Structure 1
């Protein structure tokens, strides 16, 4: 894995930060404009769940230091196509995570349907956790997953996440909260 500017690269993917202009263009429905700014085709599937972009924009407005933790497009570089999104819900030490672990970060991700079950989520999650550990010395990770999302539950279990709580999310309903510590 290497990091170039705002990209995190893996053997098959580029995880590129979506800056304010890209996110605002997406939310305005201007996917072609956003794609030109991002350097990848952005599918309409992104707008089926725009709350990640809305959240990231609000978090950036509140705290500019959130920038490296914000939404990242998951891009297939050989096709120049966005296949999903990953983001951290806050910077390390976010107050909402203190009950789980100090200096933790929560990660959320989505791979669009045509690209699921091909290992992209595993590659992406592993890369962002390695980046957070190497760049910011983060060793505690939280993931909230719907009980009905078996593939995602299997993914976090494969990384050694352990279920620590159940919460009722205002947007997503019941979620299991998983925690992972790294060395």
Structure 2
């Protein structure tokens, strides 16, 4: 499996071995395994890492879709995370995005407001569209998350409803496909 490269970022896959090292809190060996500098934010997100690790262990075909570290090439440091929630075409998206896929991302506080979220999101969608034929993307964003709502609008995502997330509470559900998707990934 390869990393996804953008001008400033490398979206690097996380192996089962790396998940385990991070979950154990073994930062030194995790950095050695990944070849990057880990940040405390990544290492502290143990519940999220366990959830994705268990998902990957249960279904190895999930690997290319699983969480990726967002690595700033200039410093070779992890500045966030991005990944698809499931492999393509899960049943829960059939009504709003047939054949589509949902993704989420997080840029850690010291690195926000630099365009990294947009660059990572476009990179992931471009890869999934051009390499894997995905033509519909879904994001679920808290109505209070002004930065992510603005990013979704700037990429031409369209709100199709709301949902109650077990972890994050009320979220707007937004979809991007068709000509708007082609424009977004060309940017």
Question: Retained in 2: the 8 A contact 1:6–1:17?
Answer: yes
1:101-116 aligned within 5 A: 101-116=97-112
* Counterpart for residue 152 of structure 1: 148
1:16 and 2:27 aligned: no
TM-score normalised by structure 1 residue count: 0.93
1:42 maps to which of 17, 38, 43: 38
The separation in 2 between residues aligned to 1:109 and 1:171, in whole angstroms, is: 15
Partner SS, residue 11 of structure 1? coil
Cα deviation for residue 78 of structure 1 reads: 2.0
1:112-152 superposed Cα distances (whole Å, 9 cap, x missing partner) = 00100000000000000000001110010000111110000
Moved more, 122-131 or 77-86: 77-86
1:121 and 2:117 aligned: yes
Question: Retained in 1: the 8 A contact 2:163–2:173?
Answer: yes
Query: What is the count of residue pairs matched by the alignment?
Result: 179
- Structure 1 stretches of 4+ with a deviation exceeding 6 A read none
TM-score normalised by structure 2 residue count: 0.91
1:87-135 superposed Cα distances (whole Å, 9 cap, x missing partner) = 1001111122112211111011000001000000000000000000011
The separation in 2 between residues aligned to 1:108 and 1:77, in whole angstroms, is: 21
1:33 and 2:48 aligned: no
Question: Retained in 1: the 8 A contact 2:16–2:57?
Answer: no
* Counterpart for residue 65 of structure 1: 61
Q: Which runs of 5+ in 2 are unaligned?
A: 183-187
Partner SS, residue 129 of structure 2? helix
1:7 maps to which of 3, 9, 15: 3
Query: Aligned-residue CA RMSD in angstroms?
Result: 1.2
Partner SS, residue 103 of structure 1? coil
The answer to which structure has the higher helix fraction is 2
1:53 and 2:49 aligned: yes
The separation in 2 between residues aligned to 1:80 and 1:47, in whole angstroms, is: 16
Question: Retained in 1: the 8 A contact 2:42–2:78?
Answer: no
The separation in 2 between residues aligned to 1:19 and 1:150, in whole angstroms, is: 32
Partner SS, residue 79 of structure 1? coil
1:171 and 2:167 aligned: yes
The separation in 2 between residues aligned to 1:166 and 1:49, in whole angstroms, is: 26
